[in-house]
Structure 1
Amino acid sequence: MTAHLVPLLMAAGLTACGVYMLLERNLTRALLGLMMIGNGINLLIIDVSGPGGSPPIYNSTEGMETDADPLAQAMVLTAIVITMGIGAFVLALTYRSYNLTTTDDIGDDQEATRLSQLSDDEIIAAEEDHSEPVAPGELDAVAESGVSR
């Protein structure tokens, strides 16, 4: 198995840039980061799939010694569809976030910050106090913030 250096470096660069963009608090940059990671992985799959060959069709004679591996092409096609689905989902999240807060930046979660500052004894006491089931309306963040649907 031989892999060429330039496509490997391109795949590594795309993946590294995608991870960097994914770490931002902006949903648009996170979406672009996910797309870059998907394209980098697709390039990596194609690069390590082996040398090219004739089409893998029965009785195909193109003059090449070996047939191309159709598995890598099928995996990349599947990965493209999955990446499109993830992209559509993140785009819908971005649209919803922009409609609710007029920005696509992700802010700090105040409840998570408050819980991280509690001691172990306070956490155990809070769990014992809230042993009864919580109504679904109490967990709705949109209803608490006063934003109309």
Structure 2
Amino acid sequence: MEQLLSVLIGVLVAASVYLMMGRNLLRFLFGLILLSNAANLTIFVAGRLTPGAPPLVPDGLDAPVGEVANALPQALVLTAIVIGFGLFAFALILMMRAYRSLGTLDTDEMRVAEPKDIG
């Protein structure tokens, strides 16, 4: 299962890099979201996929009994999803504002502070 998820992570990273290499700001934003999803999946797979029980300690014992799931990667991924959604919402609003101000999503045409090419 880890091999299949590793291939999926590679496909997500390749697709995100392809989208981020374009000049369109909306495609860049979608590439950024794909890259964050690939990073989340990487963290999740690094925590090992086991069919373990929840890490609960029974009364009177110092440690859980048997094989338990690792809760740390799950907590990290959940936090990263929330932060990624906030970043996506903020970047989407910035992109909409840039489109209203400049009338384009092409990054080469967004040259308000730069001089025009001479020649």
* Separation in 2, partners of 1:85, 1:15: 21
Structure with more relative contact order (C-alpha pairs < 8 Å, separation 6 or more): 2
* Separation in 2, partners of 1:71, 1:19: 28
Question: Residue 17 of structure 1 aligns to which amino acid in structure 2?
Answer: A
Asked if structure 1 preserves the Cα contact closer than 8 Å seen for 2:47 and 2:73, the reply is yes
CA-based RMSD: 2.3
CA drift of 1:6 comes to 0.6
Matched positions, count: 109
- TM-score for the superposition, normalised by structure 1: 0.65
Q: Which runs of 4+ in 1 moved over 4 A?
A: none
- TM-score for the superposition, normalised by structure 2: 0.79
Q: Aligned match of 1:20 in 15, 18, 21?
A: 18
- Structure 1 gaps of 5+ residues are 115-149
* Separation in 2, partners of 1:33, 1:113: 28
What is the percent sequence identity of the aligned residues? 36
CA drift of 1:112 comes to 7.2
Q: CA 1:59–1:112 in structure 2 vs 1: closer, same or farther (change >3 Å)?
A: farther
Kindly name which structure, 1 or 2, has the bigger radius of gyration based on alpha carbons: 1
Equivalent residue runs for 1:111-130 within 5 Å: 111=114
* Separation in 1, partners of 2:79, 2:23: 29
* Separation in 1, partners of 2:54, 2:106: 47
* Separation in 2, partners of 1:38, 1:112: 34
CA drift of 1:113 comes to 7.7
CA drift of 1:17 comes to 0.8
- Structure 2 gaps of 5+ residues are 60-64
Q: Aligned match of 1:35 in 30, 33, 36?
A: 33
More helix by percentage: 1
Q: Aligned match of 2:45 in 44, 47, 55?
A: 47
